[in-house]
Amino acid sequence: MKKANITVLGSSNTDMIVQIQRIPGPGETLLGGKFSQAAGGKGANQAVAAARAGASTRFIARLGADMLGDQALAGFVKDGIDVSQITRDPKVASGVALINVSTAGENAITVASGANAALTPAIMKKSAAAIKKAQCLVMQLETPLPTVAAAAQIAKKAGVKVILNPAPAQKLPPALLKNVDILTPNEHEARLLCGVAVTDEASSKKAAEALMKKGVGTVIITLGKEGAYVADKQTGLRRHLPTYPAKRVDSTAAGDVFNGALAVALAEGKDLVDAICFANAAASLSIMKLGAQPSIPCRKQIDAFLAKQKPLAPTKTAAKKTKPRKR
Ligand code: RIB
């Protein structure tokens, strides 16, 4: 099989993690935590997920000219990621995230964006060739919105599939959504983007339809342990897909892993349902370990995990028939 060819544009952070019995409330101090440091950042996690899932991956990002930036860069090189489109900013620090992880595996994250916020459209445009030569461009929202919008436009014009993970949640301009092929919000992000509260399959469908009306081709709403709901304009597919049981240690980066793995599976030619199962498997594996990048599985692990799962029932919703092409 030919290697998938993916470009990721986005953030890189160093995660400062405290494992603590529960997430503290405002004004509260909790003692007894355990500290660790790990590579993170939604963009970097997606790039690492794509690379470990087997894609030839390049990452467009901005780091500070500091020690944390050096460490992040060394990690990308170790994962075989093409780092030629990563620039360094001498004026700002590399991104940092402070993360509390509770005993139940939930998290609360605050981010000091630093150099991620300095990835301007002008800097990104120097990477236009790296966007155009990919099969798929994967992005999230930890870098400036005008940069994400400009990159989506470059990709769309070049026929490169655009996957946008709209996290952290924020409203998006209609012009950006029109350039997005696959949008992957969680319930909260979906609600912010279309006003529909996602609580079950019916409301997932309603939210997905509303988002497709805004110009998105495919909507995949990620539902945590409930799996994902997918709606695809072209084929008429509407389906809830369960995820796989996994013991949650830390859910940090599960969404990022889902997106990186999804891009690889689609670029390899898997259909949407199989690609989502592959992405669900990668995300399930990631929640069983602490930390963002330390928890990201490699291809062998994903394939072995999937091989042990019960096969899914075939899709019930008949896909819309496409007219036969005239010869
Ligand atoms: O999605 C998880 C990521 O969000 C963490 O790695 C942290 O850096 C924040 O960007």
154-202 pLDDT tens trace: 999 999 999 999 999 999 999 999 999 999 999 999 999 999 999 999 9
The reported pLDDT for the residue numbered 310 is 82
Question: Is residue 148 situated within a structural domain?
Answer: yes
Say if ligand 1 is within 6 A of residue 256 CB.
yes
Of how many residues is the chain composed?
Answer: 327
274 given a catalytic annotation: no
Q: Produce one character per residue of 66-95: b if its CB has 16 or more CB atoms within 10 Å, e if not.
A: bebbeebbebbeebebbbebbbebeebbbb
Question: Is residue 317 situated within a structural domain?
Answer: no
The reported pLDDT for the residue numbered 163 is 98
225-262 pLDDT tens trace: 899 999 999 999 999 999 998 999 999 999 999 999 99
Count CA atoms closer than 13 A to 313's CA, side-chain side.
Answer: 7
3-state SS of the chain is CCCCEEEEECCCEEEEEEEECCCCCCCCCCCCCEEEEEEECHHHHHHHHHHHCCCEEEEEEEEECCHHHHHHHHHHHHCCCECCCEEEECCCCCEEEEEEEECCCCEEEEEECHHHHHCCHHHHHCCHHHHHCCCEEEECCCCCHHHHHHHHHHHHHCCCEEEECCCCCCCCCHHHHCCCCEECCEHHHHHHHHCCCCCCHHHHHHHHHHHHHCCCCEEEEECHHHCEEEEECCCCCEEEECCCCCCCCCCCCHHHHHHHHHHHHHHCCCCHHHHHHHHHHHHHHHCCCCCCHHHCCCHHHHHHHHHCCCCCCCCCCCCCCCCCCCC
Q: For all residues of the chain together, what is the average pLDDT? A: 94
Do the beta carbons of residue 256 and residue 49 sit within 8 Å?
yes
Distance (angstroms) between ligand 1 centre and the Cα of 253 equals 6
Q: pLDDT class for 314, splitting at 50, 70, 90?
A: confident
pLDDT score of 319 more than 80: no
Question: Is residue 191 situated within a structural domain?
Answer: yes
Give the residue carrying structure tokens 């400036």: 144
Say if ligand 1 is within 6 A of residue 181 CB.
no
253-294 pLDDT tens trace: 999 999 999 999 999 999 999 999 999 999 999 999 999 999
The reported pLDDT for the residue numbered 45 is 98
The reported pLDDT for the residue numbered 192 is 97
53-66 pLDDT tens trace: 999 999 999 999 99
Closest CA to 283 of 114, 80, 49, 27: 49
Question: Is residue 93 situated within a structural domain?
Answer: yes
175: CATH: 3.40.1190.20
pLDDT score of 325 more than 50: no
Question: Is residue 168 situated within a structural domain?
Answer: yes
Question: Is residue 321 situated within a structural domain?
Answer: no
The three-point CA angle 269-238-244 to 5° equals 70
The reported pLDDT for the residue numbered 316 is 63
What mean pLDDT is predicted for residues 208-213? 97
C-alpha distances (whole Å) from 294 to each of 24, 37, 49, 257, 261 are 25, 10, 11, 11, 16
Distance (angstroms) between ligand 1 centre and the Cα of 310 equals 31
Q: pLDDT class for 321, splitting at 50, 70, 90?
A: very low
**Which amino acid is present at 231?**
A
Distance (angstroms) between ligand 1 centre and the Cα of 294 equals 12
pLDDT score of 119 more than 60: yes
8-39 pLDDT tens trace: 999 999 999 999 999 999 999 999 999 999 99
- Atom 8 (ligand 1) nearest CA: 41
pLDDT score of 326 more than 60: no
Euclidean distance between CA atoms 172 and 145, whole angstroms: 8
The reported pLDDT for the residue numbered 105 is 86
48-106 pLDDT tens trace: 999 999 999 999 999 999 999 999 999 999 999 999 999 999 999 999 999 999 998 88
Question: Is residue 63 situated within a structural domain?
Answer: yes
Pick the catalytic residue: 89, 181, 256, 303?
256
Do the beta carbons of residue 80 and residue 5 sit within 8 Å?
no
Euclidean distance between CA atoms 244 and 305, whole angstroms: 9
Which domain covers residue 58, as residue numbers?
A: 5-23+34-310
pLDDT score of 5 more than 80: yes
The reported pLDDT for the residue numbered 327 is 34
Q: Report which ligand 1 atom has the smallest distance to the Cα of 40.
A: 6
Number of independent structural domains in the chain = 1
Between 326 and 235, whose confidence is greater?
A: 235
- Atom 6 (ligand 1) nearest CA: 40
Q: pLDDT class for 1, splitting at 50, 70, 90?
A: confident
Give the residue carrying structure tokens 């995949």: 220
Question: Of all residues in the chain, what percent carry a pLDDT higher than 70?
Answer: 96
Question: Is residue 41 situated within a structural domain?
Answer: yes
Euclidean distance between CA atoms 165 and 47, whole angstroms: 13
